[in-house]
């Protein structure tokens, strides 16, 4: 029997549990700065917005009125159920789409803002996802992001390498040592980002990069 987006039954059951415990697991981090960080980042969201890997919808309450159309992309069915529940409780309208970031069902150059918070660590094919984001963005569009990335401290990076596999299994596919900003540049983005600490979360998911990426125009 097929399972949601191709996983084993054990993995699917674990993903259902993760969706249940996701908000409580992040609670401390949200209260120690992450919630404010989401809000500040999303002040710049405008026009047609596509959020990839929207999860349980922790960003939903922060979208400003300048957002004309909100598309929330999420491939995990358990996450989508919680996302739909959160969207119903808020006044903000949004459309939930079942899709991975690697295959966005959207026309070329049709999106003003793509949002990715804590997602590019988890997608299976980050370069493919970034090229897909570049495809759907208008030439003057933007990618707003908060991502945890490979540490610059040699000690912490070595811990991330060492704990990569157990963490990936525990955290639903999260790769704690991924150099996401470098990947953005490789995929044709110009990136402005700050490194900050994700307070209230394990050191393995530090640092966070918070910023904006735009398409490098030829010539």
> Given the rule CB under 6 A, which residues bind ligand SAM?
52-55, 58, 74-76, 79, 100-102, 117-119, 122-124, 173
What's the closest the beta carbon of residue 176 comes to ligand SAM, in angstroms?
11
DSSP secondary structure string, 146-203? Answer: EEE---SSHHHHHHHHHTHHHHHHHTTT--TT--HHHHHHHTTEEEEEEEE--TTS-G
| CB-based contact 195:208 (threshold 8 Å) | yes
Residue 101 or 114: which CB sits closer to ligand SAM? Answer: 101
What's the closest the beta carbon of residue 124 comes to ligand SAM, in angstroms?
6
Q: How long a stretch of residues is the chain?
A: 219
Whole-Å CA distances, 84 to 15, 126, 138, 212: 17, 26, 27, 27
Coil, helix or strand for 39?
A: helix
Residue 105 or 140: which CB sits closer to ligand SAM? Answer: 105
Coil, helix or strand for 217?
A: coil
What's the closest the beta carbon of residue 110 comes to ligand SAM, in angstroms?
18
What's the closest the beta carbon of residue 206 comes to ligand SAM, in angstroms?
15
Residue 96 or 151: which CB sits closer to ligand SAM? Answer: 96
What's the closest the beta carbon of residue 122 comes to ligand SAM, in angstroms?
4
E strand or H helix at 115 = strand 111-117
- Six token digits for residue 65: 């009125």
Q: Which single residue brings its beta carbon nearest to ligand SAM? A: 55
Residue 64 or 140: which CB sits closer to ligand SAM? Answer: 64
Residue 118 or 130: which CB sits closer to ligand SAM? Answer: 118
- Six token digits for residue 54: 């929207």
């Amino acid at each position: 029997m097929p399972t949601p987006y191709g996983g084993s039954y054990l993995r699917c059951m674990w993903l259902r549990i993760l969706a249940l415990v996701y908000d409580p697991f992040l609670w401390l981090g949200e209260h120690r700065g992450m919630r404010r960080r989401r809000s500040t980042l999303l002040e710049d969201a405008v026009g047609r917005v596509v959020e990839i890997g929207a999860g349980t919808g922790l960003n939903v309450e922060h979208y400003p009125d300048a957002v004309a159309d909100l598309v929330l992309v999420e491939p995990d069915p358990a996450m989508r159920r919680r996302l739909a529940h959160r969207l119903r409780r808020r006044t903000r309208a949004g459309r939930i789409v079942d899709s991975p970031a690697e295959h966005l069902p959207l026309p070329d150059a049709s999106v003003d803002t793509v949002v990715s918070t804590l997602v590019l660590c988890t997608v299976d094919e980050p370069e493919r996802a970034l090229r897909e984001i570049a495809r759907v963005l208008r030439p003057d569009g933007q990618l707003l992001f908060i991502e945890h990335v490979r540490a610059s401290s040699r000690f912490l990076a070595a811990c991330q390498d060492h704990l990569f596999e157990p963490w990936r299994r525990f955290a639903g596919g999260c790769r704690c040592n991924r150099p996401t900003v470098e990947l953005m540049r490789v995929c044709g983005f110009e990136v402005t980002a700050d490194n900050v600490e994700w307070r209230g979360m394990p050191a393995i998911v530090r640092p966070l990069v918070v910023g904006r990426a735009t398409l490098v125009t030829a010539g």
